[in-house]
Structure 1
Amino acid sequence: MAADGARGAANDYNAVVNGQAADASAVTADQVKDARTVDALAKALKTTVPEYEGCVADSKAGLDEATSKLDRQAAWYKTHAASLGKAVKAVESSRLDRTVEDAEKLLADSKGRVADEKTRSMLEQAIKDRDADAIGEAVNAVDGSVKAKADADAKARREAEEKAQAEQAEQAAADAAAAQAQAQQQAQSYGGGYSYGGGTGYTGGGYTGGGYTGGGTYTPPATGGGNGGGSAPSGPISGGHGIGTCTDGCASLPPIRH
């Protein structure tokens, strides 16, 4: 009986070690709300396990001693299986607390940032239920919805910027065309300039039009009378370029200066 009890307790203990404890031991400190639970589980798994020897005795005294030893081993296995189970549950509970805490933060941060608000409703319900699996699925859905909205918003901003740039370029081209048209119009307005039609020139004195006409006729004074006097010139001197008929008295005349 003692041997069977010890063997059964050992099997139960090993089932915890190789099952729930093994899974919980893979949880890291940053995955739980209280890192001390991870340390406590690691310490529990390092406990020295008594070696099962069965029941072998040659005498009644030896049998009694073996039975007592097996009973102590059975008690140890039962005690440590229970404590190990508590350590495992502590890790699992702390992990769930951290999961819920992170999910609550995501629920708050994702407000107004999802493409589908239903994903947040799913997450909110999973948090209330403290269902780790449901929370995991809802978290993935919310993350995907946040990304979808972010991508859509980025695309909209990019298209708006491209549209604004196109409108600016179009306006710049229109302004340049208007400026060029105005410059051409101004150039045409000044193209006639000032013209001189020749006219009749300047008329005054002895200058008419483009030529020159000598000024009038010149008549020399008459020579003095008397017996020895000469005679008056036979005609006027005209043009200033030569002398017509002249008596000898002309020799005394001063030259004509133009």
Structure 2
Amino acid sequence: MDADPPKIDTTVAHPARIWNYWLGGKDHYPVDRQVGDETTRVYPEIVELARHQRAFLGRAVRFMAGEIGIRQFLDIGAGLPTVDNTHEVAQRVDPSCRIVYVDNDPLVLAHAQALLTSTPEGRTDYIDADLRDPDRILAEAARTLDFTRPIAITMLGILIFIQDDEEVRSIIRRLVGALPSGSHVAITHTTNAVHGERTDDAVRVWNEGGSVPMVVRSPETILSFLDGLELLDPGLVSLTRWRPEATPFGPPPEVDEFCAVARKP
């Protein structure tokens, strides 16, 4: 890892820091809080949505490690470390799990050491790379992961920042094409299928103040990104509807962030 400290631009809002703010973290700056607060005023549910996405990560990783038996994870768009990072969830199931994190935010890089805390039996690594460069991601991940054995790729809250649908499909095809049979892919993506114009307004506020514009897609388009893969039950659903943990009150209301887990045949 480069010895020079990463250059962090505190004058422009960044998705990872805004998300950290919504999750109650401490790694954000006034410009991030401003965009976060403006978005929350238009769409108060965004804070709960962020927490539901974090909860989905935990459920999906536990499912893939515990029920499927996957021992390798490639977390693209890792974001800032918080409670129950991918390696913590996976290595509680099996301490030998290996995890590679990928992100391109300098502040995430600055906190990479926190992500690199592994069990003695397992291993974690961090790649400073952009999702738009899948070849680099795959090449560097191969230092830690064995591409002859199943790997789970997670891309949560990151596909929204690629404007072109075909570019998303191309990236996923390249990543999945390098994986062996039995590998899995978990994604989340913003839609407006639940709250309609209110979600559109929140995205407009984000795009006006955030450093990286995002795009809302229909469930049908999101589902098309997983063509050729076997969609696991319950399919593409709101975060709160994917294998929810039982509570006396049932699952919370649906949110405009949909998710899915799929298997490579």
TM-score over 0.5 for the pair: no
Q: Which has the larger radius of gyration?
A: 1
TM-score by length of 2: 0.19
Q: Which has the higher contact order (CA 8 A, sep 6+)?
A: 2
Task: From the two aligned structures, give the one with the greater helix fraction.
Answer: 1
TM-score by length of 1: 0.19
Task: From the two aligned structures, give the one with the greater strand fraction.
Answer: 2
